[in-house]
Every structure is written in C-alpha cells, then in structure tokens.
Amino acid sequence: MLSFDWPLVFLLLPLPLLFYWLLPNQSGSEAALRVPQIDQWLAAEGGTGSSRTAANVIKAILLIIIWGLLVSAAARPMWRGEPVAQPASGRDLMLAVDISGSMKQKDMVLDNKAVNRLQAVKSVISKFVERRTGDRMGLILFGTNAYLHVPLTFDKQTLITLLDEAQIGFAGEKTAIGDGIGMAVKRLKSSQSNSRVLILLTDGSNTAGSLTPEQATTLAKQVKLKVYSVGIGAEEMMVPGFFGSRRVNPSRDMDESALKQIAAATGGRYFRAANTQDLETIYALLDELEPVEHEAKTIRPQKSLSYLPLAIALGLSFLIALANGVNSIRGRS
C-alpha cells in the first residue's frame, strides 16, 4: 500500500501560482513596438509566434509536473507491505568461531570426504542459525585477535553468507579464546534482552590475546552471559609414517578443562564434537536448552519510494535543458 509520511507537504503545491499572482507584472504599460517582417525573423530563430507559444506551454506544463514530483518526493512516499508475524524470543545469541591455523586440520568427514574443521562447522551451523527464528544473532571470529564479524541482527541469511566467506588465518594463526569471550561481553553487556547466550566453538587452547579465559569468564558472569563451549576435532586419526600408518590424537592441544570451566561457571554446558554428526547433535541439544519461543509480534515491511519522483523530475529537467540547447544552436545557425 502506498502512503506518505509527511502528507502536509502537499500544501506547497500551489506555491508557484501564489508567486505568479503576487509578484508584480513585468510586461509594463508601454505601447507595443511594431516591427516589419517579424514573422520572418521568428522563423529564422526557430519558429513562428504560434509555434513558440506552443513550446512555452509545453515547457510550463513540464515545469508544473517537475514541481509536483519534487513535492511528492519531499512528502516521503512509502510502500508498506502486508503485516507479517515475526516470532520473538527476546534472546540475543552470539556465535564465536575459531578461525586460527589449527582449524586447517582435516580430521572431519563430510559427505564421505575429509574436510577441515572450519568447513565442518560451516556445513552444520547454517541449519542451526535458520532454526533460530525470533533470536537476534551475531558472529565473532577469533584467531590471534577477535573481531565482530556480524553485529546482532535478525537477518540470518546475511550471517550465514558472511560466515561462509570467513577463511582460516584471517584473524591470525594463534587462538585468543579469552578475547573472543571478551568481545561477546562487550557487545552483549548493554543488551536489553531477557537472555544472553554465547556459543563458543574452538579446537585449541588459549595461546594469544590480552584476556585469559579465567578473566573473560569473570566478565561473562558479571553481565549474566551464558556460555556453551564446543570443542571441535577428532579424537583419533590415522596418519602415514615411515614405518606405516599410525594412530594419533589430532586434538591433543585442546584445553578441554578450560572449556568445561568456562561453561560451568556461566551456567552453560560443554560439548565435544569429534565429527559432523556430533555437531548436529549438539545444535539439536542447544535448541532444547535454549528453545525458540513462539510469541509473535507483527511487523510491516516498508520501502522508501522517494527516489522515483526525484529520478523522473531529473529526467524531465534534462529534457528541458536539452530542448533549450537545441533551440539556441538553431537560432545561431
């Protein structure tokens, strides 16, 4: 439905007529000067008197249309769609994803192919994000440093797209778990939400950053931020060696005790994801622990249309200027 935010602006429509009526007449009262062969001169300059009068009428009509378009644009035309029910849970949920160098380890399996840990996270997390209707969600990426990649938003598709574009090593090769939690605290401490949740996904231990996990946990408790920590990485894998294949633990550098302490101290839980199936199970459990509420609020999508009358007015102005230029060139020739 088309509507105008400032309809009173249309009271300006008769303004040009008021100026025309109120300003003094410039024609003067002197007797007209009779010039012989005036018709021939007018023809040489671009037309007879009647044709020039018609051109002036057309120009005046175009100017009136341009004025009407400008006033319409100033009235802020808006297109408002039908009301849409938007589920709202009042929960702000932040994802903190490790993109340090250790996430390159290809110890996860997806569609019967070995993939690195970040690819496994991306493949599963999108389904979880899409299910969180009504939650505001954000994304933090951390390595040597922590960055807010997506602020809290209801736009889940943008979050998924930007996560897919994240690459290992963009934030450095080391792992700043404390700074990742600290960034979430910074962004969520002023939130008016009823529930603040952080899902921390990492495969290592804290090896960088200005905050230790203990300090970050204390800050999280102060703002009532619940942390669910997820340790990512296979528990064992076969690697080729000089004397044949041998079994190794690719997650030996993971500090599971620290991740458990972070979760327990903030009222969350720790999960271990050794494969993509574990990740899917974990996200399903998170849906149960932090259920989506179905209390809906109604919103109406809207779009500003001010650019349309402005564009048309600009095009008509260009046509008038072009016509004046052509007539001027003809008169000189």
Domain boundaries, the chain: 2-23+37-80+303-332, 85-297
Q: Which of 181-190, 210-219, 222-231, 315-324 has the lowest mean pLDDT?
A: 315-324
Question: According to the model, what pLDDT value does residue 253 have?
Answer: 82
- Mean pLDDT estimate for the chain: 82
pTM for this entry: 0.61
Contact 228, 199 (CB under 8 A): yes
* Range with the largest mean pLDDT of 103-107, 293-297, 326-330: 103-107
Q: Which of 17-21, 73-77, 91-95 has the lowest mean pLDDT?
A: 17-21
How confident is the model over 236-262, as pLDDT tens digits?
Answer: 666 665 665 666 666 788 899 999 999
Question: According to the model, what pLDDT value does residue 1 have?
Answer: 78
- Tokens 């109120």 correspond to 22
Q: Count CB-CB contacts under 10 A for residue 79.
A: 13
| pLDDT of 273 strictly over 70 | yes
* Domain 85-297 in this protein, CATH class: alpha beta
Strand, coil or helix: what is 305?
A: coil
Residues 6+ apart with CB under 8 A from 191: 92, 152
Share of the chain above pLDDT 90, in %: 34
Question: According to the model, what pLDDT value does residue 123 have?
Answer: 87
- Tokens 């095009």 correspond to 315
DSSP state of 9: G
How confident is the model over 127-153, as pLDDT tens digits?
Answer: 888 888 778 899 999 999 999 999 999
DSSP state of 99: -
Proportion of the chain in helix, strand, coil states, percent, rounded to 5? 45, 20, 35
Residues 6+ apart with CB under 8 A from 64: 16
Query: What letter represents residue 180's amino acid?
Result: G
